Structure 1
Amino acid sequence: MKQTYIEFRNRSGFGDIINNYFLFLKYNFKDYSSLYLRYNAISIILTIISSYLLVTGFMGLASKDFRFGMGSNVETESYFFAGAIILFLVIFVTSLINYSFSSSYVAQYVATNGNVESKSIWKQIIKNIGDIIILIIVGGLMYFIYLVISLMISFIPFLGFIAQYAMSFTLSAIFGLTFMSMFSKNKGFSSAISEGFNFTFNNFLKVIGYGLVIGILNLMITALILAIPGFIIGIYAYFSIESNVDLVGNTFSTLVFTLGFIMFILSFVYTQALTQVAFGVLYFNLFELKHNTFLQEKINQIGLNE
């Protein structure tokens, strides 16, 4: 059965762009997710290991009686800090991989009318690795500036809160659109980030509104993923407290909370990848609005056929 192809290169309105994103997920969720798991298999394993170390170390410190098989407070702390450091690095690297993977997937999807191949995605990531590293460095500096400004305006009631979120959505849009520029048009770092800034600030309200809506919808997806494990953990914690069970000193409790934490991290990383897919859909719309290339191609084809 032939896969339904969703065309992103249209001069669509705000609602149609969001609709295209969900139509894409409707028809390509299985294929996208299977490739996602292949690219994230190692990071998922490392996430499980680091989450176990982090939760076990934390609960060991909280219990203060070391009933986790650890011999000393130093060993308990080493579990906690090792887990935290490894988890941070894993999430950081995984996020970069998923930005690249999602960008390449959407770019290949449009270029091949939906016939995406894993090898093509990997080749494109390797081809752009230098520009990706530069973007990481520049992005780190921009994010540091964002944190400083956020701290300064956090004391302003309400307006400071709104400004923080506006800056956050703006940064996300710039990075998302820059990645798409790299992978869809094979642009270098300077040209790609220039286009990312241009698209973001020339369509500021549209981009911010789109980021807000997609953020809320993806948050709902995360909530749905976590609903069942969250309910189970809540019920377990409630009855454990009612029965005076020592939650922090119980091996089974450690396992339950570790599984819950793993589900939270994995769902967070996955929805982050979906957010980049959404920015991919937005990128092709903004590119067509500015350059009108796809519409012109269709007009030229009609002229040739006549």
Structure 2
Amino acid sequence: MNDNYIELRTRSTFGDIVNTYFLFLKYNFKSYTNLYLRYNAASIALTLIASYLLVTGFLGLASRDFRFGMSNNIESDSYFIAGLIVFLLIIFVTSLINYSFSSAFIAQYVNNQGHINPKTIWRSILNNLGTIIVFILIGALLYGLYLIITVMVSFIPLLGMIIQYGLSFTLAAVFGLTFMSIFSSNKSFGEAISEGFDLTFSNFWRVILFGLVIGILNFLISALIVAIPSVIIGVYVYFSVESNVDLLTNTFSTLVFTFGFAAFILSFIYTQALSQLSYGILYYNLYEVKYNVFLQKKIEQIGINEQ
């Protein structure tokens, strides 16, 4: 057993679950982040490419001269459209990786009492790839339905905003708990999504409040990550304006904005991965509250030792 192993299969209070999440990060942040970077190396490179294309295209559009029909800058349009396509591809692929990797990491952590084998994580993802793809497709439909509902209720003052946030946290919980159900015991899609909905709605207010608290805390983590490049960009823009540097056409400013935008996107993606870690911790707590599996095993072991 890992000396810093934290048992997640407990009947904890709400405050204890949140505390367990941060305790888990304290002991496993380095190993998790190192593996995360290995699994997301390609997406990080694509993010830099997408950021460069989007920033270059946007600056080109912003500097365009619309007078006398001089607005036909095909190169800027192409950069911007290509960057947008790559960016959407990154969001899709990294979402799949983040949900799968974080879920497999937590499942292996629990099953092996804190010992993590990168090859086993990758094997687990491949073994469940068919189920993951089906869930991603169904999840896209659910997300589309969510967008339609949010647009419809957005016209309702205050209540509409509450409904939007409630649906957002509910959908995030269903996705997170379903992915954990897939990786914890290799369930089929039907069994996993059924358990995801069951655990979400049978503990609705705890799940919603947990999503809200963890969302705020992860946002603060993301803000800290982005703070340094944001300050650098702010200082650069200030002195560039003071020196009359044309930010829209300057090559160095393009690179600065590219790395700044990439840092923002990468922090968002990493926060998404951390959110799935938190739902993994929540999953084992809710599962134990509902089924008492781990507690029963401990009681049976006590009985065996006493014989």
**Which TM-score tier does this pair reach, normalised by the shorter chain?**
over 0.9
Q: Does 1:152 align with 2:146?
A: no
2:86 matched to which residue of 1? Answer: 86
Could you list the per-position Cα deviations for residues 240-293 of structure 1 after superposition, in whole angstroms to 9, with x for gaps in the alignment? 223332211211111111110010011100010000000000000000000001
Is 2:50 the partner of 1:61?
Answer: no
The TM-score with structure 2 as length reference comes to 0.96
TM-score scaled to structure 1, two decimals?
Answer: 0.96
Please say if residues 106 and 281 of structure 1, whose CA atoms lie closer than 8 Å, have aligned partners that are also in contact: yes
Q: Secondary structure, in 3 states, of the residue corresponding to 2:152?
A: helix
**Residues 2 and 113 in structure 2, CA contact (< 8 A), matched pair in contact too:** no
1:187 is paired with a residue whose SS is coil
Matches within 5 A, 1:137-286: 137-286=137-286
Q: 8 Å contact 1:233–1:256 — kept in the other structure?
A: yes
**Alpha-carbon distance change, 127 to 2 in structure 1, aligned in 2, over 3 angstroms:** closer
What secondary structure sits across from 1:29 in the alignment?
A: helix
Paired AA for residue 138 in structure 2: V
Asked if 2 retains the 8 angstrom alpha-carbon contact of 1:3 and 1:27, the reply is: no
Distance of 2:167 and 2:242 partners within structure 1: 45
Please give the alpha-carbon distance, in whole angstroms, between the structure 2 residues aligned to 1:141 and 1:23.
35
Equivalent residue number for residue 117 of structure 1: 117
Task: Compare 5-14 and 42-51 and name the one that shifted more.
Answer: 42-51
Are the equivalent residues in 1 in contact too, given 2:2–2:115 (CA < 8 A)? no
Paired with 2:228 and 2:97, the residues of 1 have a C-alpha distance of 28
- Provide the rounded CA distance (Å) in 1 between the counterparts of 2:19 and 2:291: 22
- Structure 2 unaligned regions, length at least 5: 66-71
Q: Greater shift after overlay, 242-251 or 21-30?
A: 242-251
Query: CA separation in 2, counterparts of 1:200 and 1:21?
Result: 18
CA contact (8 A) 2:105 2:116 kept: yes
Say yes or no: does 1:20 pair with 2:23.
no
* Within-5 A mapping of 1:32-51: 32-51=32-51
The CA deviation at 1:2 is: 5.0
For residues 105 and 53 of structure 1, what CA distance do their matches in structure 2 show? Answer: 33
Distance 1:252 1:214 in 2: 37
Partners of 1:167 and 1:212 in 2: how far apart? Answer: 12
| 2:103–2:277 CA contact under 8 A, matched in 1 | yes
Q: 1:176 is matched by which residue type in structure 2?
A: G
1:227 & 1:272 partners in 2: Cα distance? 18
CA distance, structure 1, for counterparts of residue 46 and residue 109 of structure 2: 29
Deviation (angstroms), 1:50: 1.3
Structure 1 residue 3 displacement after superposition:
4.1
Cα deviation, residue 154, structure 1: 0.2
The 1-side partners of 2:132 and 2:241 are apart by 49
Letter of the 1:195 partner, please give it: E
Cα offset for 1:238? 2.0
CA contact (8 A) 1:56 1:79 kept: yes
Amino acid paired to 1:172: A
Say whether 1:5 aligns with 2:34. no
How many equivalent pairs are there?
A: 300
Q: Which whole-Å CA distance do the structure 2 matches of 1:292 and 1:108 have between them?
A: 20
- Compare 242-251 and 228-237 and name the one that shifted more: 242-251
Q: Residues of 2 paired with 1:122 and 1:17: CA distance?
A: 27
Give percent identity, aligned residues only. 66
Where does the alignment leave 5 or more consecutive residues of structure 1 unmatched? 66-71
Task: Output the CA distance in 2 between the equivalents of 1:228 and 1:210.
Answer: 29
